[in-house]
Amino acid sequence: MARIYDTRTRRTEEIVPARALRMYTCGPTVHRPAHIGDLRSHLLSDLIRRVLERRRVRLVVCRNITDVGLLAGDAEAGADGAPAWAEGRPVTEVARHHEESFQRDTAALNLRSPEHAPRAGETIEPMVELIAKLIEQGHAYAVSDGSVFFDAASFPTYGEISGNRLDALKPGHRHGDVDPRKRFHADWALWRPGDGEPTWDTPWGRGLPSRHIECSAMSLRFLGERVDIHTGGIDLRFPHHENERAQSDSAAGHEVVKHWVHGEQLLFDGRPMAGSTGNVVLLSDVVEAGLDPLAVRLAFMEQRYRHQVSLDWDALRAADRTLRRWRGRVAEWAESPSAPMARDHVERAEAAFDDDLDTPAALRILRELEHDESVPPGSKFESFLHLDHVLALDLSTEIGRAPVLPPGAAELLDQRARARDSHDWPVADRLRDSLAEVGVLVSDTPDGQVWVLGGH
């Protein structure tokens, strides 16, 4: 039985198998490129999916795209990226650009595509319907300027996810005095007035939705009133997930989400990633540095998803070396006779996956298996590929692939072949040393020179 830590109950809960489980994960706000800290939280839902699918559980996943509310002055767009208008293009065009970039990044990290990926801007009707229902039920109220607020006091169990209870919340002064339009300072906007594009006409006036109502409406529309797992980054616990839970549960009349699961923050060089600090690393930066993007996935899995982790370029390079070494070893083991999986190692690794996604323990078992001389190479091959269904590191990519020479090595090999044919042994020896420096090992045979890459 797979187990996962539930943020609301504050204990590790069993995920009860069913014919199909429904999972909602908070998707990107596409006002800027996603950095690798953003991508870590999306790995969480992918790992949950892969672990449960290994148990033959089918998942239906919804991951939203927040593509509204990205204009200048929109505090909900986030403080760590430039608003869409600053890029000098229409908001919709910029949102699509960053959405496509996000999809490329998730594909490069081998994150499974969700069954549903609704855009907020294309799902306004169910949001308006949900707001109208909350007003009718007495959980929300409209004010004269066209805003609609949720009545926080109407939801007595507010705070079960984050621990921030209504009676302990202090009025916030970040944007000035307490909003006089609110009945209670902790009430939050469901709809807010606005002009220009994109905004929409509603019974309360022209405006746009809050990101909180977006997730409630899209979750209820695409997954229904029973959601098994809801994931997101730890920063979304409060207020976003508290507000979302209050809205959804009030509309449905019961607890909608069974398990709330959150991934911890990623630091880089010991600091949170933010545009304001210039500490942002994109997946494209990793690729431009010559590293495999799946080295990022491996580096993430070296730590538990709910532990804060600090990466740096040395850690990413180390993960890249491990990834390339394992692919090379798997290719070597593929040449050996087939053999059954190493049952003890595989069972222990799978138990680690089931134990609240203990990927660090699973990776330690793989390293142990790699160096266990008592296990036949064919068994190592079968075991690594079996566990790669969850790890998703593409460990089989080197099988049958001709090794690729480093830049300039082909020319050096040609020069050495000519020197050897002319019996110019000093030049041949010098070129052999030059090739060794770039990782190409050359030896002479009666049939001519042969070479291998140093890591193979």
Task: Determine how many CB atoms are found less than 10 A away from the CB of residue 397.
Answer: 14
Sign of CA pseudo-dihedral 189, 191, 192, 198 = positive
φ and ψ at residue 238, rounded to 5 degrees: -135, 130
Strand-pairing partners, residue 260, are 230
Return d(Cα 362, Cα 351) in angstroms, integer: 8
User: Which residues neighbour 45 within 8 Å (Cβ) at sequence distance 6 or greater?
Assistant: 23, 25, 61, 63, 111, 229, 231
What is the number of helices (H) and of strands (E) in the chain? 13, 15
Is residue 207 within a helix (H) or strand (E), and if so which, with residue range?
strand 207-209
Task: Determine how many CB atoms are found less than 10 A away from the CB of residue 332.
Answer: 15
Two structure tokens written together for 418:
């000519």
Angle CA(365)–CA(110)–CA(77) in degrees, nearest 5? 120
Return d(Cα 155, Cα 169) in angstroms, integer: 14
Annotated binding residues: 26, 215, 240, 244
Return d(Cα 62, Cα 118) in angstroms, integer: 8
Which DSSP letter does residue 124 get?
A: H
User: Which residues neighbour 144 within 8 Å (Cβ) at sequence distance 6 or greater?
Assistant: none
Q: Which residue type sits at 298?
A: L
Return d(Cα 256, Cα 250) in angstroms, integer: 9
Return d(Cα 179, Cα 188) in angstroms, integer: 10
Annotated binding residues for Zn(2+): 26, 215, 240, 244
